Amino acid sequence: MQRHLIHLICGPTGAGKSTYASQLADRLGAVRFSIDEWMRALYWMDSPQPLDPDWSMQRVERCQAQIWEVARRIAERGLPCVLDVGLGQALSRARLAELARDAGLSVQLHFVDAPTEERWRRVETRNVEKGDAYQLGFDVTREMFDFVESIWEPPTDAELTACDGIRVSTIQNAEVSK
């Protein structure tokens, strides 16, 4: 079995991506990169109110570019990296997979999912508890959830095949790989 060095995590809001990414990194002895952690540490404290999507996306793109550069250097030294950096659109996943392959690094896509009602319940709980899963530093409203849901592009079977992908269901906090 091939040892993948770049692990791309994707899934809709509330699917359990960050929890899964942490568990995967622990299991592999990998370095985990979380866009939510980087954005919280570098930018959210300076964000305009109300939140400006263009302002946010410029900073997300900067973080993603820097995360890739650091992850590439680490993976080139043989240490696997888990990238929990959004990847809600097929184009962004394809771009990172291509960068990995161009650098001679093996890549695996992990598609984390759960039913919509369960995901929204998790988001509501996260908003109230503000615990470890509250990485953004602000509540995700139903309007935000629905917007991100409208632009989410699940990976196709062809995309999963091309990236040696796996599907992971996180129903009731129990992970099941398919």
Encode pLDDT of 147-177 as tens digits: 999 999 999 999 999 999 999 998 754 444 4
- Dihedral sign for Cα 93, 143, 19, 119, please: negative
Encode pLDDT of 64-78 as tens digits: 999 999 999 999 999
With contact defined as beta carbons under 8 Å apart, do 145 and 89 qualify?
Answer: no
Least Cα distance to 134 among 67, 45, 36 occurs for 36
The pTM score is 0.88
Encode pLDDT of 105-136 as tens digits: 999 999 999 999 999 999 999 888 876 655 66
Query: 6-177 is classed in which CATH architecture?
Result: 3-Layer(aba) Sandwich (3.40)
Helical (H) or strand (E) element with 99: helix 90-102
Residue 52: both structure tokens together: 């400006």
Encode pLDDT of 28-70 as tens digits: 999 999 998 999 899 877 887 887 888 888 999 999 999 999 9
